[in-house]
Structure 1
Amino acid sequence: MEGLNPIDRIQASLQIVIHKMQPKLLESMNALGVTPTQLFVLGFLKKQGSCKVTQLAAMMDVKPSAVTLLVDRLEQNGFVLREHDKKDRRVVNISLTECGDEKLKKVMQERKAIAERYLSHLTEEELSVMATLTEKLAQAVNEEN
């Protein structure tokens, strides 16, 4: 990859890393009975506390009916709870259950273990530099949206 400009080198390297890591991440989620979309919802609920189906649909850029089916499956698995709003019974709030929180923790532990396996090839100093750079990149991407 020498001879390429830095952007091309980064892009090529990231493509290799993602190509190798993604199947492992999906395999671990499948083993734990969670899809990537379900993981996203569980993580969002962990941060938010609770939300409405319409909020999730808007954030995911899908129709509320698609989110309803997703929430149905999460509820069947005991990962989320639906509760009618006390002020407006037509509004249904979704929140993470203890079981859902535990499932989220297990998935995140597995993801961390996979990342650690790949990142173990770096020194502590390289890890620190990479952390700083990826945080800076994440901040820039967040500010763009």
Structure 2
Amino acid sequence: MDNHPYLQRIHTALYVMFQKLQPQMQASIQEHGITPTQLFVIGFLKRKGSCKISELAEEMGVKPSAVTFMVDRLEQNELVIREHDTKDRRVVNIRLTAQGNHTFQQVLEARKAIINRYFSHLDETELATIAAIYEKLVHLMMEEE
């Protein structure tokens, strides 16, 4: 299967697509005053609700001190807030603020607009085919975890 002629075409097309989309995606993040790593943190908090610095550090594979510095910046920009845990006041949790939620939604909308700009040139059948293929690949990837 490695030498299948379609695989090389797919590889090349994906490579070019990512090379063209990456700068646009980066710019859409920067327009909202955050970095890609900060977007990861905001997205993680959006999914999780709240967490401790140690949980976030483990998820990112970095030391808690690096996450503390990043959370400081996010807190200064009013995107996250630190709160003492209701069960154990020694524990500090981080959660998104309304502004953090809003910024995350804005970035997602900007990214969708970038993708829509290109996919809008496809017809209904092509869109349905691509959607089915991507869903199948995602399903396979999820099974590997």
Looking at structure 2, the residues matched to 133 and 4 of structure 1 have their Cα atoms a distance apart, in angstroms, of 17
- Residue 49 of structure 1: CA displacement? 0.9
Alpha-carbon distance in structure 2 between the residues aligned to 1:144 and 1:59: 18
Tell me the distance in 2 between the aligned counterparts of 1:142 and 1:68.
30
Name 2:80's counterpart in structure 1: 80
For residues 73-117 of structure 1, the C-alpha deviation after alignment (integer angstroms, 9 at most, x for no partner) is 111110111111122222111111100000011111100000001
Corresponding position: 1:130 with 2:130 = yes
In the other structure, the counterpart of 2:100 is 100
2:143 corresponding residue in structure 1: 143
Identity across the alignment (%): 52
Give the match's secondary structure for 1:51.
strand
Distance 2:120 2:4 in 1: 26
Shift of 1:29: 1.1
CA deviations over 1:32-65 (Å, ceiling 9, x no partner): 1111111111111111111111111111111111
Per the alignment, residue 69 of structure 2 pairs with: 69
Letter in 1 for 2:106: K
Length, aligned pairs only: 143
For 1:33, the equivalent position in structure 2 comes to: 33
The RMSD of aligned alpha carbons is 1.5
What residue identity is the alignment partner of 2:67? V
1:120 alignment partner in structure 2: 120
State the secondary structure of the residue aligned to 1:83: strand
Tell me how far 1:4 sits from its aligned partner: 6.4
TM-score, scaled to structure 2 = 0.92
Which one-letter code corresponds to 2:63 in the other structure?
K
Q: Secondary structure at the match of 2:82?
A: strand
Equivalent-residue separation in structure 1 for 2:51 and 2:104 (angstroms): 17
Partner of 1:52: 52
TM-score after normalising by structure 1 = 0.92
Give the gaps of 5 or more residues in structure 1. Answer: none
Whichever residue aligns with residue 22 of structure 2, its letter is Q
